[in-house]
Structure 1
Amino acid sequence: MRLQFLGTGAAFTLADDNFQSNAVLEADDGRRLLIDCGSDVRWALKAAGLSRQDIDAVYISHLHGDHIGGMEWFGFTSYFCPGTARPDLFLCDALAEPLWHSALKAGMEALDFGRARLDHYFSVHPLPPDGRFRFGGAALDLVPVLHIRAGDGEMWSYGLSIGTAAGPVLFTSDCLSQPERLMPWYRAARLIFHDCDTGPRPGGAHAHYSELSTLPADIKARMWLYHHKDGPLPDARAAGFLGFVRPRQTFDLGPAA
């Protein structure tokens, strides 16, 4: 399997050579899973030499625009392009209804035959928060992570633990620093791709570089950082990390498991 980052930037990235932090997992059988579908995804796919027709399925981690803003485009191109198969859509069951009713319905409900639903555009596979699905022979486990504390409420995102023959690969998705919750996943993973804010100080939505820098050395030695702000980046390698992922960088994860 291969994991390619279409972009590595934060939600508001405007860098000429970067896009929002969406990725493509290419399975051993050649099928491709788009991990999140943000507002600049059509341009990000094009820059990677890919198109909508090259994507077989979508996984949505949470409902911010840099992760779902391209879903209307993706759904319409699937529906209206002759010969394009209806893609699979994997997501936590708590996200399925608000994805349609709060984000997509207003623009996508009216179709030539009448009122559409989400499953007219996608083959929807809702999953429990601790669920598992298989794609191209690989087992992918949902990893619930706290993204935002909002007063008396919370916003959760759902990362992925990707099963490979050499051991799990952790993709955190957007998350606050929460080593107490993630340490079992950190310890189990042979490779970690971690959300990392590089702003001047920690905020309320993402793990900050200064926070991740305090993790044990053996964890940092298996950790790549992504979802950073535009501009100069810290010397992550000198701090013991594998580094910051580059836009369109591809990782060979080895055979699925």
Structure 2
Amino acid sequence: MSRELRSRGDSYDNIEPLFEKIEALDASDSRRETLRGELIERCLPLAEHIARRFAGRGEIFDDLLQVARLGLVQATDRFDVTRGSSFLSFAVPTIMGEVRRHFRDNTWSVRVPRRVKEIQLTIGPTVEVLAQRLGRLPRAKEIAAELEVDVVEVTHALIAGNAYQSSSIDALAGEDNQNTPLPLLESLGAEEPAFHLVVDFMAVKPLIGELPERERQVLMMRFFESRTQAQIAAYLGVSQMHVSRILSRTLRTLREQALRD
């Protein structure tokens, strides 16, 4: 995960204790609503990251941001901290599902078979359920098993989710700082440069957890603690060449498993 996202760990990765505080309070305790508001506010940047990822597809960014924030509120209210999974692993697919539903419900422009549409409508809620159960984003075959449909149909439905409304690049889509209407071409948003790292990290996280202790320790020290190979070698009492071989073998294994899944 990028340094920028790790620096915000208090907002994302370490937010579960706040859920536990809320859960411990009586339902009538006024502090529950105060803590809930604090929790949502701390996670607002996550909603903005996701909204920006969908910017430039014919929808006004402010609308996407509102939809993403609605998804964040829903994720906050639905998250069950007692299951032991992280809030981030549940919130990301929930918010992204809400934004995708916004496009799906308002902007179909390509003719899609009814069967594919029906499956596509069920994918969002299914991803939320599986993400809560598994503690990570589900794979296509896991979604298919949950829905009891063929994995090919799930794949088609996921692809169909991109059948959004096409818009002219000359259409007015926003205003500049002087309230002058701007064509879409001049107001296209850019994807958050580091956001894809969140999804990548969530995809590889369960694979890291399955590594042998030594390989996982070397990987964590190198990429999460930013230690050099020489420092790792000195800590473990082995040669730097041995550390290099461990890293190469481990990264190759993770890459192959991630691509295969």
Mark the structure with the bigger radius of gyration.
2
Do these two structures clear the TM 0.5 threshold for a shared fold by scoring above it?
A: no
Give the TM-score normalised by structure 2.
Answer: 0.26
